[in-house]
Amino acid sequence: MINKKTYKAYCLDLDGTIYRGKDAVEEAAEFVSRLQQQNIEPFFVTNNASMTQQQLKEKMTGFGITAKKERIISSAIAAAKYIKHWYPGKTVYMIGSEGLDQALRQEGLVRVEESADIVLIGLDRAITYDKLATACLEIRKGAVFLSTNKDLAFPSERGFLPANGAITKLVSASTGIEPVFIGKPEIHMLEAIQLELGFSKSEMVMIGDNYDTDIQAGIRFGIDTIHVNTGISSTATVLEKKEQPTFLIENLGYWKI
The residue among 128, 160, 181 that closes a domain is 181
Over the stretch 73-94, which tens digit does the pLDDT of each residue have?
Answer: 999 999 998 999 899 999 999 9
pLDDT of residue 180: 95
- Say if residue 168 is in the same domain as residue 109: yes
Report the share of the chain in percent with pLDDT over 90. Answer: 84
Over the stretch 224-256, which tens digit does the pLDDT of each residue have?
Answer: 999 999 998 999 999 999 999 999 999 999 998
| 60 assigned to some structural domain | no
Burial 214-227 (b: 16+ CB within 10 A, else e): bbbbbbebebbbbb
Q: What is the DSSP string of 15-84?
A: BTTTEETTEEPTTHHHHHHHHHHTT---EEEE---SS-HHHHHHHHHTTT----GGGEEEHHHHHHHHHH
| 234 assigned to some structural domain | yes
Whether residue 46 is predicted with pLDDT greater than 90 in this model: the reply is: yes
| 62 assigned to some structural domain | no
- Say if residue 82 is in the same domain as residue 177: yes
- Say if residue 194 is in the same domain as residue 132: no
Please tell me whether 13 is known to bind a ligand: yes
Question: What's the CATH code of the domain at 229?
Answer: 3.40.50.1000
Assess whether 117 carries a catalytic annotation: no
> What Å distances lie between residue 89 and 102, 179, 225, CA to CA?
17, 20, 37
16 and 230 Cβ atoms separated by less than 8 Å: yes
- Say if residue 123 is in the same domain as residue 149: yes
- Say if residue 88 is in the same domain as residue 121: yes
Reported pTM: 0.84
Q: Annotated catalytic residue: which of 13, 101, 124, 214?
A: 13
- Say if residue 157 is in the same domain as residue 195: no
The residue among 181, 211, 237 that closes a domain is 181
Q: Which of 2, 23, 35, 21 is nearest to 12 (CA)?
A: 35
- Say if residue 203 is in the same domain as residue 236: yes
- Say if residue 83 is in the same domain as residue 164: yes
Q: How many domains does the chain divide into?
A: 2
84: Cα separation from own chain's centroid: 19
Rounded Cα gap, residues 149 and 72, in angstroms: 16
| 65 assigned to some structural domain | no
Please tell me whether 209 is known to bind a ligand: yes
| 57 assigned to some structural domain | no
For the chain, the distance separating the N- and C-terminal CA atoms, rounded to the nearest angstrom, is 9
Q: Annotated catalytic residue: which of 15, 124, 151, 214?
A: 15
Q: Which of 45, 55, 41, 42 is nearest to 13 (CA)?
A: 45
Report the share of the chain in percent with pLDDT over 70. Answer: 98
Assess whether 212 carries a catalytic annotation: no
165: Cα separation from own chain's centroid: 12
- Say if residue 81 is in the same domain as residue 166: yes
86 and 78 Cβ atoms separated by less than 8 Å: no
- Say if residue 232 is in the same domain as residue 195: yes
Please tell me whether 124 is known to bind a ligand: no
Rounded Cα gap, residues 207 and 247, in angstroms: 9
Over the stretch 196-232, which tens digit does the pLDDT of each residue have?
Answer: 899 999 999 999 999 999 999 999 999 999 999 999 8
> Residue 28 sits in which domain range?
9-47+184-254
Please tell me whether 8 is known to bind a ligand: no
